[in-house]
Structure 1
Amino acid sequence: MKKRLLAAAAAAAIALGAAPSAAADPFGPPEPAPPVFDVSALPIPSANWQPIVHYDRVMDFYPGMGACSWGGVPVDTDLDPRVQSTSPVYVADLRPAGFGGDTQGWFGTVSAARFASVDDASYALSAYRRYLDACPTAPENPAGYHNDAVGTSALDPTLAHALIETDINWVEVFAAATDKGLVELALIHPKDGPVEFQYNPAAITNALKTADVDALTDAGVQL
């Protein structure tokens, strides 16, 4: 009898311990937001880039254009007034892993604005390329560094890739026009160190083309 009572008491204790408390969420913790951009395609794997799930801030222009602008802001008269997005530019900062992430001195952003169609986004990309080609902050005597991959997308109106030398930085940009909008990856490094890194252009292009523009530009959700 004594053994049975002890066994019954133990079973009751286990049942009580397994029962959810009144305050517990019956559905469990919320699922983490899905990433909006494939960070595994990014250069500098030593950074161990964290997933991008939302935007950090809103701007009126793309960071790559800002890097080519005095004071970091493009002059309105230098922009094509015929290019009209249906949203501002939503910008997400690239973040390395909290422990051990090494960006090798680079910092960057993934940005997007919505456009009504891929044709509109492609037209905007053309204007974007013209602005970067005329980069106002380019030095009078460039260093002459050459990136063999730059210009490989010249025949595709939905893609852009350039390595830009400004007065203080190296700026490597990739951009793609999609049926949702125009997506930019901008990587910036001060002109005090090496600028070379390994990357797969096809992987970056695919990441830009498949970026979830709707999620990145969701004005109701911010980090």
Structure 2
Amino acid sequence: MKKQLVVLTGAGMSAESGIKTFRDADGLWEGHDIYEVATPEGFAKNPALVLDFYNQRRRQLLEVMPNSGHQNLVQLESNFDVHIVTQNVDDLHERAGSSSVLHLHGELRKVRSTIDEQLVYSWDRDINIGDTCEKGSQLRPHIVWFGEDVPLLNKAVTMVEKADIIAVIGTSMQVYPAAGLINYAKPDAQLFFIDPKPAISERDFNNLSIIRDTASSGTQKLLEVLV
């Protein structure tokens, strides 16, 4: 039976594909205040601005490709039972070929109803004011905004609790609740943290190895260690 490997990924995983990281040092996201474009209040106040913001992100996503880091994680499936839990809203893990991907913060290539969050649709074009679900309600990005519940969090916790090996890649470990997931690891789980500027040290967790590198070359090193 293959060992369970859970990989927690953040913005640094997709940065080398050309997707900008979630927010710059000035706290802005692509020039916007995050609370204007990533909260229910922002959407209620100016839905056209919010839809345009995500339309631009979606268009950009359709122009980029998975990088070698994404592909390295697919290779690990030959030797391990791999489950990816990502904070990223892009679909680069799936496009690279990963077979188990859980999106904590939603998906850019999906939309959902504003009246019934169970009504979720695949969507590759722009969302416009007037685009509605089958119940006649405006569609919105299928994104978990600040202040909203993270519906898949419990599923992610269960995966981490069962994992024999956990690799954290390209995330600052600052955005909760995702940052708290590593605390659910089994005491004997093997932990890896891949980041060029790691926010944690090997003293912070048992069995932790830090790989100070980008996602693409860091995952290559992870392959060499594990396989």
* TM-score of the two chains, using structure 2 as the length reference: 0.24
Name the structure where helix makes up a greater proportion of residues: 2
